[in-house]
Structure 1
Amino acid sequence: MSDATGVWGFTDDRGTALTAAAARGRPERVVAYVRAGAALLDLGVRPVAVYGSGHDGDVLDPVKAGGLAEAGVPYLGPGRALDEARIRELGGADLVVDVTYDGKSPYALDEALAERIGAPLVALSVGSEVTPAVIVRRFGELAGALGGGGTVDAGAGRMADAEAEVRAAAGAGSGAGEGPAVLALSGAGPEQVHLARPQAWPELARLAELGVRFVDPGPGPGASWLTTGWEYAVGLGAELVLFDSRANAVVPGVVPVGARLVPWNPETPPSAGAFARFFQDVASALTHPPA
C-alpha cells in the first residue's frame, strides 16, 4: 500500500518492513514461488515469472500451477538453482514473493539471490501456526497492496460455503466426529509412504476443526510426517485417503479395501478459491461414498 507521500510499503510475516520510494512506486514486476504466484494470480496480480521448490524439476508441476500456465507465466525452474541472469533476461524484478514455514526464512529461494537482483523479498506464513483464513487474508492484503483485486475479504463467502459443506458432511449420519476415518499421505515409493500429521497442515487442521475424523499416524519422528511402510498405512483402516497429488509424490498403489481417494496438494495455492475447491472435494467424498 502507499501512504500520502506515495511511498509503497508492506510488512511480511517475518516482521520485515519493505518500502519503495515514490520514484519507483508500487512494485510492478513480481517474481514468485509457484505456490505464491498461483495465489496472486487468483487475486488479480500476474507475476512476470515463477520458480519452484526443491521438490520441483525443470517443468512446472501442473498440480501446483493453478492458472499460471494458462496465463502464460514463465516457469524458471527450482528456486535454489535459479540463475539471476534468467530474471534479468525477462526484464528484472521489483519484488520477490515466497512463503515461510518457520516465520524466519523464505522456503524456496535463497534470500541472497533476491539481493543480487536488487529486489526486496516478501515471505508470507503458511506453516502450522496459521489458519487457512489467516493465510488467505494475508495474501489478499499483499495482492491489494500490489494493485490486484484482492482484499482482506476476498473469497470469504466461497470459503465459508465450502467449510459449511464439510461441517455438514462430517456430521452426517451418527454424529459429528463419527464420520469416515480419513488419512492424508504422500507416497515416497513402493516401500515407503509419508503419513501426514493433520495439525501440521493448516488445511487439514481446519478440516479436523470442522468435524473430519483423521486417523492418528502414531508416535515417531517427524513433526509434519511419519515415514513408514505401506503395510502399516493400510493397517490404519482409513475409509478416505487424501493422497499427495504433486508430481514428486507416488500415487497410492495399495489402500484399505473400499477406501475412497481424493487428491490433496500439500502446497495448495493460498487463495480462497483453491482452499474452497479442496474443501468441496473432501465434502463430496464424505457425502457420496462409492457404490
Structure 2
Amino acid sequence: MSDARGTGGADGHGWGFTDDLGTALTAARRPERVVAYVRAGAALLDLGVRPVAVYGSGHDGDLLDPVKAGGLAAAGVPYLGPGKALDEARVRRLGEVDLIVDVTYDGKSPYAVDGALAERLGVPLAALSVGGELTLAAIVDRFGALAGALGAQAAPGGRSTGRLGDAEAAVRAAAERTGVRVLALSGAGPEQVHLARPHAWPELARLAELGVRFVDPGPGPGASWLTTDWEHAVGLGPDLVLFDSRVNAVPPHAVPPGARPAPWNPETPPSPAACARFFQDLAAALEDEGGEA
C-alpha cells in the first residue's frame, strides 16, 4: 500500500486529494455529487457528506444490507446493487457524478467497483485503505480527511470523536472487570466457520489494545480468517461469540455452551460515530456476560 497521506481542498487552484492507492486526484472544483461503496458511503454520511447513491460488493445482492447501511437508508440514499455489476447507464441516470469512493484491502485496487467504470465515466475514483496493516485510528482519520476535503465541517466528527473516546473507556473498564474471552467468527454453513484473526481486523486489534481478551483461533492458512469446523470453534471455549451479522453470512450453527452471542459487522463504517456505537455495544455485552460468569 502507498503511504501517501492525501490532502484536499477547494480554492482558486481547483481540488485535489491523494488516495491510498497513491493516485493524485484533481478536479476543477470540489466534488459535490459522490457515489460510494456502502461502507465508505455510510462513513462519509456520518462525517457530514451525503452520497447521491451507494453500491455494494460482490457479496451483496439487489437490496441494501441493513447491517452495512448505517444511516444511509434513513437518509434516503439510493442503492444501486453490487458494484461490479454497475454499468454506465445506471450511473449516468443519477445525473452528474463528480467522484466515486471505494475502499481497498490490498492497497493495489478498489475493492467493490471496477476501476474501468470510473474511467469510462470520466469520474475520479478515490480508494481508501481499510486493511489490517493500518490502525483503526489511521483509517478513521483518512475518512475524516476525505470528508473534510469534500467540504464537511469539523464539528460533527469532533463530537463523534469524543463519543468514541468514551466508548473506548467503557470497553477498557468492562474488559478489566470481567476478563471475558471473546471469539469473532463468520458462519459459512453447518460444515464450516471462519474464525477471525483479531490482529487482521483493525477494530478488533484496537479492542485487544483496550484489554479485550480475544481467543486465538490457532495455526493454519488464511491471513484474516481461519476456516475450520464448528467443533473446533466450540472447543476454543469462548465466553462471548461475536458473529458476522451481515446478510451474506450464515447465522452461527453452534455456540459453545454458556457462551453469549453478539452481532458484529466486519464492515463497520470507519467513522468515529459508527465505531463508538460498536464499542459501546461490546462494552455492554462484556458487562452482561461478565455478570453471569
Counterpart contact for 1:140–1:154, Cα < 8 Å: no
State the shift of 1:10 in Å. 0.8
Pair 1:124 & 2:128 matched: yes
Rounded to whole Å, the distance in 1 between the matches of 2:98 and 2:196 is 37
Pair 1:163 & 2:168 matched: yes
Task: After superposition, give the CA deviation of every residue in 1:86-140 in whole Å (9 maximum; x if it has no partner).
Answer: 0101103110000111112111011101111111000111100111211111111
Regions of 4+ moved over 4 Å: 150-154
- Cα gap change, 1:247 to 1:150, in 2 (>3 Å): farther
Counterpart contact for 2:161–2:273, Cα < 8 Å: no
TM-score (norm 2): 0.93
Q: Which residue of 1 aligns with 2:231?
A: 231
State the shift of 1:6 in Å. 3.7
Amino acid at match of 2:242: L
Q: Which residue of 2 aligns with 1:84?
A: 88
Two-structure CA RMSD over aligned residues (Å)? 1.4
TM-score (norm 1): 0.94
The answer for unaligned runs of 5 or more in structure 1 is 174-178
The answer for unaligned runs of 5 or more in structure 2 is 1-7
Task: After superposition, give the CA deviation of every residue in 1:13-65 in whole Å (9 maximum; x if it has no partner).
Answer: 122111112xxx11111000000000111111111110000110011000000
Rounded to whole Å, the distance in 2 between the matches of 1:101 and 1:92 is 28
Q: Which residue of 2 aligns with 1:205?
A: 205
Q: Which residue of 2 aligns with 1:9?
A: 16
Amino acid at match of 1:124: L
Give 3-state SS (helix, strand or coil) of 1:65's partner.
coil
- How do 1:13-24 and structure 2 match up within 5 A? 13-21=20-28
Rounded to whole Å, the distance in 2 between the matches of 1:204 and 1:99 is 18
Rounded to whole Å, the distance in 2 between the matches of 1:92 and 1:226 is 43
Rounded to whole Å, the distance in 2 between the matches of 1:194 and 1:150 is 38
Rounded to whole Å, the distance in 1 between the matches of 2:89 and 2:198 is 40
- How do 1:180-219 and structure 2 match up within 5 A? 180-219=180-219
Give 3-state SS (helix, strand or coil) of 1:51's partner.
strand
Rounded to whole Å, the distance in 2 between the matches of 1:150 and 1:55 is 33
Counterpart contact for 2:9–2:150, Cα < 8 Å: no
Give 3-state SS (helix, strand or coil) of 1:64's partner.
coil
